[in-house]
């Protein structure tokens, strides 16, 4: 069936894309060949709203629709220069993917060192997309996301908690400064403290539709948040997406993340989740996720083109 591209229009499109991603996730057998709905929420609620990683959705998102208004595909960046193709499996054809990638080159390329650069992400087994990318001159880029997953059909063993720490849900608003500071220390360990910009950004995280504070797990010692992992449970697909995950440097190597992941997985299991996902880009996190989720993962690769 012929599909037509159009730009993202309004808030209604956001909610329609969410439903589309859920449907695609189920049709893909609960695999992340397209984004999970939680990743879309996180992109908008955190990466755009807090980090300005890309322009707003209405400026950078394209939809392909059938004549009767069914969404066949969505194209969006996450940060500038990186494009993600969300494609309904029933509409996944060479022609559609070609058109989406051509749109990417036209609209998402960034200029660096006098050259235009763009990256398209793809599952490592998606031969249709890989063939198109190679034919258009793309080469494998620096980054690969290992998409770890764990089915939650067995009991999750408890992990020991290092002495002096407790694992629990994030507290109320009074604890947001500590949570924000942990995030700063966890993700910016080498930057000077004076670059820290405050904690109010966390309200945007908590306004995401799937945010549940009882799934925002922290390891605490005294009044300090030493480590954290936020679990996003989608009760439509019964899947969970874990993002972000970090430990403050001075509290690393104490098994805190194992204890947090184990606690979070038990909580989502009780709510009815059947599969959990987490993405890792570097050896340290990947080793943790392989041990706590499973050695099974999909590889989601960045392919880049200079032109």
Partner 1 sequence: MKPIHRSYRNEDDYWRLRQFLRKVFLLNNRLEHSWHVSRWDYFRWHLFENCRVCNSLEEAVSIWETADGRIAAVLHPINPNEAFIHIHPIFRTPEFEEEVIAHAEESFSNIRPDGSRRMYVPVDENDHFRKDILKRRGYAGIGSLGWEHYRDLDAALPDVPIPPGYIIRSMGGVEEHPARSWASWLAFHSDEPEGNYDGDWSWFQNVQRAPLYRRDLDIVAATEDGQIAAFCTIYYDDATRSAVTNLVGTAAPHWRRGLGKAVVFEGMRRLQKMGCTRAFAKATDPVADALYDSTMPEKYISETWIKDYKR
Binding region for partner 1 (CB under 8 A): 15, 18-19, 22, 168-169, 172, 206-214, 233, 235-236, 238, 270-272
For residues 78, 83, 86 and 87, what is the CA-based torsion angle, rounded to 10 degrees? 180
CB of 172 to partner 1, least distance (A): 6
Residue closer to partner 1, measured from CB, 191 or 235: 235
CB of 210 to partner 1, least distance (A): 6
CA dist list (Å): 105 to 29, 110, 117, 120, 220: 30, 9, 8, 9, 46
CB of 11 to partner 1, least distance (A): 8
CB of 26 to partner 1, least distance (A): 10
Residue closer to partner 1, measured from CB, 149 or 267: 267
Task: Supply φ then ψ for residue 98, to 5 degrees.
Answer: -60, -45
DSSP string, 166-192: EEEE--SGGGHHHHHHHHHHHH-TTS-
Residue closer to partner 1, measured from CB, 116 or 212: 212
Burial 43-56 (b: 16+ CB within 10 A, else e): bbbbbbbeeeebee
CB of 215 to partner 1, least distance (A): 9
Tokens representing 255 are: 């098994």
| Cα dihedral across residues 2, 7, 9, 14: positive or negative | positive
CB of 41 to partner 1, least distance (A): 9
Question: Please, is 201 exposed, middle or buried when counting C-beta atoms within 10 Å of its C-beta (0-12, 13-18, 19+)?
Answer: middle
Helix (H) or strand (E) holding 217: strand 216-221
């Amino acid at each position: 069936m012929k599909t037509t591209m159009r730009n993202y229009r309004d808030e209604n499109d956001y909610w329609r894309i969410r439903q589309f991603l859920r449907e695609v996730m189920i049709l893909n057998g609960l695999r992340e060949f397209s984004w999970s709905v939680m990743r879309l929420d996180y992109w908008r609620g955190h990466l755009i709203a807090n980090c300005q990683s890309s322009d707003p959705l209405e400026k950078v998102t394209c939809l392909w629709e059938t004549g009767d208004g069914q969404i066949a595909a969505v194209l969006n960046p996450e940060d500038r220069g990186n494009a993600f193709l969300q494609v309904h499996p029933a509409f996944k054809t060479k022609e559609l993917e070609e058109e989406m990638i051509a749109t990417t080159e036209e609209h998402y390329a960034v200029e660096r060192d006098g050259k235009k650069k763009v990256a398209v992400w793809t599952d490592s087994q998606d031969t249709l997309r890989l063939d198109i990318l190679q034919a258009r001159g793309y080469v494998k880029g620096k980054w690969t996301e290992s998409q770890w997953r764990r089915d939650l059909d067995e009991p999750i063993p408890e992990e020991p908690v290092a002495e002096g720490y407790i694992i629990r849900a994030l507290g109320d608003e009074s604890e947001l400064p500590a949570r924000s500071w942990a995030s700063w220390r966890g993700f910016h360990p080498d930057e000077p403290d004076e670059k820290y910009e405050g904690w109010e950004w966390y309200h945007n995280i908590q306004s995401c539709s799937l945010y549940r504070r009882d799934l925002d797990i922290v390891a605490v010692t005294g009044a300090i948040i030493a480590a954290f992992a936020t679990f996003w449970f989608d009760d439509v697909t019964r899947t969970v997406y874990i993002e972000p995950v970090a430990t403050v440097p001075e509290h690393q190597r104490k098994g805190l993340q194992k204890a947090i992941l184990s606690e979070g997985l038990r909580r989502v299991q009780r709510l009815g989740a059947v599969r959990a996902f987490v993405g890792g880009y570097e050896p340290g996190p990947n080793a943790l996720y392989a041990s706590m989720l499973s050695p099974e993962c999909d590889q989601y690769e960045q392919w880049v083109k200079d032109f």
